[in-house]
Amino acid sequence: MLFLIDGYNLMHAMGYVSPKMNGTRFQHARESFLGYLDEMQPKQVEFLVIFDGTKQSRRSQELRHGRIRVQFSHGEFADDTIESHLQRYHRSMNWTLVSNDTRLHESARRRDCRFWGHEAFLDWLIAAQAIAGSQTIIQTISTPVNTLKPETVPEHELEHWLKAFEMPVSPRRN
């Protein structure tokens, strides 16, 4: 299982970066973000995180951060590099794009590729961590966690919550 992750897009959504960060703080934030992903990454899964590279980069640079593959785009934006990966992997149903970028979602949709927004990915990641080592991870990977909620609430639980949030009846004023 491979997750192709839009790096700065997810970093921003998770609150790792702010518009006023300088280069050193930004690099530290990126390292912290990658450290978090490395810590949370299930054993049966591979993460490829794509970041925008520098304008001086001559070729695509791929590094490792723990078990995570990290790639910096070169001569193009990270979105363009991700679209190249979408084109290359479009026949494989064994990977998922992670981004909230509508352009990338549309590109994935055109190629019949699976894609998740940040919320679905983070929900799945937290659930996968909770059941680490279980085959359930592989069985549920094609369905975001937020679609696995029960359809009904047990009657006793419903009664409890209705009572807890019951509004007192106030006398009407004429």
For 85, other C-beta atoms within 10 Å of its C-beta total: 17
Residue-level pLDDT at 157:
78
Of 47, 43, 29, 60, the residue nearest 122 (C-alpha): 47
Cβ contact 75:52 at 8 Å: no
CA–CA separation, 37 vs 67, rounded Å?
Answer: 9
Residue-level pLDDT at 147:
47
Of 141 and 54, the structure prediction assigns the larger pLDDT to 54
Q: Out of 73-77, 98-102, 167-171, pick the least confident.
A: 167-171
Can you give the pTM of this predicted structure?
0.71
CA–CA separation, 84 vs 6, rounded Å?
Answer: 13
Q: What domains appear along the chain, each with residue ranges and CATH number?
A: 2-161 (3.40.50)
CA 39 from chain center: how many Å? 14
